[in-house]
Copies of this chain bind each other. A is one copy, B any other.
Amino acid sequence: MTEAVGLLGGGVIGGGWAARFVLNGVDVRLYDPDPDAARKVDEMLENARRALGRLTYAPLPAPGELTFVSTPEEAAAGAGFIQENAPERLDLKRKLLAAASKVAPPEVVIASSTSGLLPSQLQEGMEHPERLTVGHPFNPVYLLPLVELCGGARTAPETIDRAAALYRSVGMHPLVVRREVDGFIADRLLEALWREALWLVHDEIATVSEIDDAIRYGPGLRWSGMGTFLLYRIAGGEAGMRHFMAQFGPALQWPWSKLTDVPELTDELLERLEQQSDAQAAGRSVRELERLRDDCLVAVLQALRANGVGAGETVAEYERTLVERAPSPARDAFRWETRVLPEWVDYNGHATESSYLLMTSHATDGLLSSLGIDADYLRAGGSYFTVETHICHLGEAKAGDRLHVTTQVLGADEKRIHIFVRIARDHTLLATAEQMLLHVDTKAGRAAPASPEVLTRVHEIVEAHASQPWPERAGRRIALRSGAPT
């Protein structure tokens, strides 16, 4: 992956970056003058772990190390990439960027999370300003894929390329903004909408709750998969965008939006906003709302992934890289560790039946990886599928329990591998899962022998495991009485 990332600032955005990098196996050195920074970043990490665990079954790498340092220079030292996340004040950002740029070698890219300060202005005072770019993410940074990139007058083209590559490597979707303008793209759109929303509250046309509902029960649903221009093109029917503009262009002249000044933020308006917002929250805490937001985002991302659309494709691509990067064969093919995730646990507080099979699937993935069943092999049309599974449940696991999962290969032929998986907490065996895997020619849609290379490795493993004792529970059948008819 990459060497350490230095983070300058650890608030909502900086903490979000910390989570995204750390959970993708990247070491992070974080500077923030706030004495509470460590606690807040920790809470962000907890949210992020939860969200990521729900987002994908693909194996996450071992987390990176998170270190809190006392100066921006310490954050920058030894970093392969630096991300600045200070409050939106030009003087403050310049100071941090300049300090970091004195320490970081010229080839280290420095990105700013600024929502709208111009990169050309940020570059002032930096050593080697050509390595600066805007890298503007969206909250929650650990979940939303979009990051806007924008170079200043002195930014080198390769700076943008390298920042984009880094962001992609942690599952993001870089969008290059070709000319620097305040607010770039997304925030300009958001702000226009929000100004109008504030007018609606100001003029007492609607409450904050009603305004939010007007989005999320209607047009907001569309925007997760498609943007405004494509939606309008479709609405224009066969005649397309030209027709749409002809039909609806003139309406732009109508008094549908205030679009003049911002409503004055009087005490009265602020009071009204606060009251209505409290009513809308209906007693739910920030943490509850964050988790609800993240659960929706995860579900929506998975929905889009199932349809191969937009941000869903970003998730799918990210998963592919996670799988490809999974620990290399020799080390982890036959044993891995996990913690029982909160989402694996039922209302009794116990890990569900299906979570044991999930863990077994992960174990099998590791084994297959070690056999050379990689992305290329899959693309060439070969794969192993599970055709049969026998699970014995022996004990309970609770959320947070640390479990280890070991795989024993019992035998194989040219099409099949017979394995036995044990799931244990320390020395307590909690479950066993015996499986038969079948090699399939996915293009022909039927069973077929694995490749000679794979078979060679399979036989090596069968030999290596032959000395292990035959599992007590292998070959079991289910019956009320032993000797019962099959």
Contact = CB atoms under 8 A, between A and B. Distances in A.
B357 A361 contact: no
A468 interface: no
Interface stretch (A1-9, A63-71, A254-262, A325-333): A254-262
A200 B224 contact: no
Given A278-B240, A281-B233, A388-B393, A221 B301 contact: yes
Given A229-B197, A475-B479, A304 B299 contact: yes
A242 interface: yes
Contact of A257 (B179, B188, B297, B410): B188
A319 interface: yes
A239 to B, nearest CB: 9
A194 B205 CA distance: 21
B343 A289 contact: no
A90 to B, nearest CB: 11
Contact of A206 (B178, B352, B393): B178
B212 A226 contact: yes
A483 to B, nearest CB: 11
Contacts of A358: 352-354
A227 B213 contact: yes
A223 B226 contact: no
Given A223-B220, A435-B478, A303 B310 contact: no
A390 B311 CA distance: 37
A309 B257 CA distance: 29
Given A181-B205, A293-B234, A475-B478, A353 B389 contact: yes
B478 A256 contact: no
Contacts of A115: 251
A32 interface: no
A60 interface: no
B270 A242 contact: yes
A387 B430 CA distance: 11
Contacts of A320: 347
A259 B251 CA distance: 16
B222 A297 contact: yes
Contacts of A241: 273-274, 277-278
